[in-house]
Structure 1
Amino acid sequence: MQLETLQKDMIAAMKARDKARKDSISSLISAVKKVAIDEGCRDDIKEELVDRVILKELKTAKEQIDTCPAERTDLLAEYQARYDVINEYAPSLMSEDEVKAFLTEKCADVIATKNKGMIMKTVMPQLKGKADGKVINAVVAELCK
């Protein structure tokens, strides 16, 4: 996802007077810019960084929904709307089969050691932002049997 795409969509939401959507996209842009400044790449924000921040914000929004008391329907609706908007921009993650194919193809030598710690240390940087950590962990555990 390009930062420019988010900015254009925020402008479109402003023109449409869709405050909830505009606020959600605005918070995403702010989070991306903050991480870019922290990592020292404010002038050259890469798609990988934007995708990583979107996934983090999606997880945060999901946690807000999960921890919101059931009687607070107003807050729950607000959190759900924010989650839905962020989910539109979230990159699709690899499935369990795709992770297994990736690991057997690219990391066969490390998997042959059956050392789960070594495998995770090698694999996680390669799949960060591309697959869910729980899926990776399950596949690695299965391959180490």
Structure 2
Amino acid sequence: MELEQLRKDMVAAMKAKDKARKDSISSLVSAVKKAAIDEGCRDDIPAELVDRVILKELKSVKEQIDTCPDTRADLKAEYQARYDVISEYAPALMSEEQVRRYITEKFSEIVATKNKGQIMKAVMAELKGKADGKVINQVVGELCK
């Protein structure tokens, strides 16, 4: 995802007077800009950084939904609406089968050692932002048995 696309969608939401959507996209744009400044690339923001920030924000909103008390239905609905908007921009993550195939093909030598820590260290750096960490951990655990 490119930052410019997020900006265009934010402008479209403003023109459509869709405040909830505009606020959600605006928070994404702000988070991407902050991450870019932190990483020293604010003038040329790579799509990989945008995707990583989107996934982080998605996870954060999911936690808000999960921890919100049932008595606060209004707040929960607001979080859910934000989650729905952010999930539209989230990159597709690799499935469990794709992760298994990728690890066995690319890291066959390390997998042969059955050293879970060593495998995770190598694999997590490669798959960060491409696959869910829980799925990676589960696949590596199965490969080490």
- Structure 2's unaligned 5+ residue stretches are none
Alignment correspondent of 1:77: 77
1:43-58 counterparts in 2 under 5 A?
Answer: 43-58=43-58
Instruction: Give the CA deviation at 1:34.
Output: 0.1
Distance 1:72 1:138 in 2: 34
Alignment correspondent of 1:102: 102
- Structure 1's unaligned 5+ residue stretches are none
Distance 1:119 1:106 in 2: 11
Alignment correspondent of 1:120: 120
Give the residue type in structure 2 aligned to 1:131: A
Alignment correspondent of 1:86: 86
Q: Deviations over 1:85-129 (max 9, x none)?
A: 000000010010000000011000110111000000110000000
Q: Deviations over 1:56-110 (max 9, x none)?
A: 0000000010111101111011000000000000001001000000001100011
1:9-48 counterparts in 2 under 5 A?
Answer: 9-48=9-48
1:125-136 counterparts in 2 under 5 A?
Answer: 125-136=125-136
* Runs of 4+ deviating beyond 3 Å: none
Distance 1:59 1:44 in 2: 25
Give the residue type in structure 1 aligned to 2:97: D
TM, length-normalised to structure 2? 0.99
Distance 1:77 1:143 in 2: 40
Percent pairwise identity: 77
TM, length-normalised to structure 1? 0.99
C-alpha RMSD of the superposition: 0.4
Distance 2:119 2:63 in 1: 29
Count of equivalent residues: 145
Distance 2:113 2:102 in 1: 17
